Structure 1
């Protein structure tokens, strides 16, 4: 086997790892074929640089760090300073993993075998061991610092993903141990095909899982978007219906005033008094009971208050002037609609007399405080430490609704507490005003 083929494959793997590494810290600039062009261009540049600077170790490290910095700047949307830092960091990871692999080879009594040319047959296994360790390190960094889409995989799934690179490291280490017993060129070829094949399979498995994660993330985001659209549509429909009712009431009030005027003219004061009392009792029910000086909050609270009242739910409210709330309307809809929908559904399953919903929404002490407490009868279902449902609505909608609320809270730098006690469910939110 020529030194050229292993050299090209090893450099290709290094460039591919640098691509995976920089994608942890920024969004990819381009989609499609241009990524393949980038990969090929930097494969050639790195190959030339490594070949030309093989005898100038210190200069080689500086040049390679700069090359990787430029490649990262081209591939992902990051600043020049950040790309330089990442380029230096990646080159340091390369050196560290190569040194670790060399140390393992020396401990495995291969010191004599790994001396000589940089890419001779005896040394390639040690280099591949270093690349396998590098790949494992990048996966761990991606899990700790990666973008939100990686959260689709739970810890158990990530442990399963780590098994393959760990297994590769063990197998290549075993190959190093028994390499001195390999004699024929056919055996050598078989060993290297196996080693490079395992490295290649790591990349294939990684991208297969990454594609699955990306699709799951898109489905999850689409589901959240649908819930947001549904909640907002319901609120806008409620506002529109309220407006239509007000127009009808305006016409009714004109007729009622004419009727009262007619009773006055006829001096039928007792009938007039009864008529006014009847109108007053109806007016109490028709007028919005809650006014916070915030149109969106008013629409949500009054709609949910009426729904709770129809279902025999006692509602206890504490609100104040919310005209200065800086949370976007769509985010207010997301938080309040999901919280109150879940609370009302839970209360509806309770026995009469035990249907209680308490809501606090105040802007005080430099904080926006939202709290919802409701009674419930069905057991709460937890999955991976998160609330899945209370078996009251579709479990997937309930779980996504709560996650959606949490995402909004975190986006505004807020905090939250979720707890249950004595058949009462409590969700408290604090967001800086």
Structure 2
């Protein structure tokens, strides 16, 4: 339990540090933008200033690092993890729509998504940059919320029960067992599949 909690603290610290670095980068960029605009306005180059503003606006519209699902808590955990994955040179593809109100408690949903994406990141870290990817798909199907998480992996893993063997030892599966218990508690279903080159976890939760 102590090792698991320490790992969570380290992971959260890494996420906060990554967000802080990103915010500092934005601050630096905007400082430069303001200086450039001020110089153009001071010299009466209003058309250039307007054109510069249009370029800035266009660059904001094309930023694809933010995902909006329709659910505030899902947005928070997904954007935090996606930002960290991109900093680790993991290619991310994400499609997600989550109802604003769910029967599943927000805390449980965040633990499920967070643990599964943390596990995906750990698997990707064993591979060379360029071979790392995580695919996220979350949508409503009938009366269920369907979630699929696929990450790049090495060779096919061997399964014991509903969990796959890990090279990290018996303590590494605590987070995944926590996910299993929360899915069961909320009346959902979970399946895992491993093959050469990829690992997929699918979760369905009642709306």
Q: TM-score, normalised on structure 1?
A: 0.39
Change (3 A) 1:364 1:318: same
Counterpart CA distance in 2 for 1:351 and 1:294 is 34
The one of 156, 163, 170 equivalent to 1:396 is 170
1:366 aligns with 2:155: no
Counterpart CA distance in 2 for 1:365 and 1:236 is 37
Deviation at 1:297, TM superposition (A): 1.8
Change (3 A) 1:385 1:332: closer
The one of 63, 66, 69 equivalent to 1:292 is 69
Contact 1:231–1:337 (Cα < 8 Å) also in 2: no
Deviation at 1:427, TM superposition (A): 0.6
Q: Per-residue CA shift, 1:21-58, capped at 9, x if unaligned?
A: xxxxxxxxxxxxxxxxxxxxxxxxxxxxxxxxxxxxxx
SS at match of 2:147: strand
The one of 331, 354, 374 equivalent to 2:131 is 354
Deviation at 1:281, TM superposition (A): 7.9
Matched residue count: 207
Contact 1:380–1:390 (Cα < 8 Å) also in 2: no
1:407 aligns with 2:181: yes
Q: Which residue of 1 aligns with 2:205?
A: 431
Change (3 A) 1:273 1:310: farther
Q: Which residue of 1 aligns with 2:152?
A: 375
Q: How does 1:50-89 map to 2 (within 5 A)?
A: none
| Structure with more relative contact order (C-alpha pairs < 8 Å, separation 6 or more) | 2
Q: How does 1:29-48 map to 2 (within 5 A)?
A: none
Contact 1:347–1:376 (Cα < 8 Å) also in 2: yes
Deviation at 1:411, TM superposition (A): 0.3
1:306 aligns with 2:80: no
Counterpart CA distance in 1 for 2:87 and 2:127 is 15
Change (3 A) 1:357 1:287: closer
Q: Per-residue CA shift, 1:302-323, capped at 9, x if unaligned?
A: 1221222223322121211431
Q: Per-residue CA shift, 1:205-257, capped at 9, x if unaligned?
A: xxxxxxxxxxxxxxxxxxx5874686488559857985997699689858845
Counterpart CA distance in 2 for 1:253 and 1:295 is 27
SS at match of 2:165: strand
Change (3 A) 1:320 1:352: same
Bigger share in helix: 1
Change (3 A) 1:268 1:323: same
Alpha carbon RMSD of aligned pairs, Å?
A: 4.0
**Larger C-alpha radius of gyration, 1 or 2?**
1
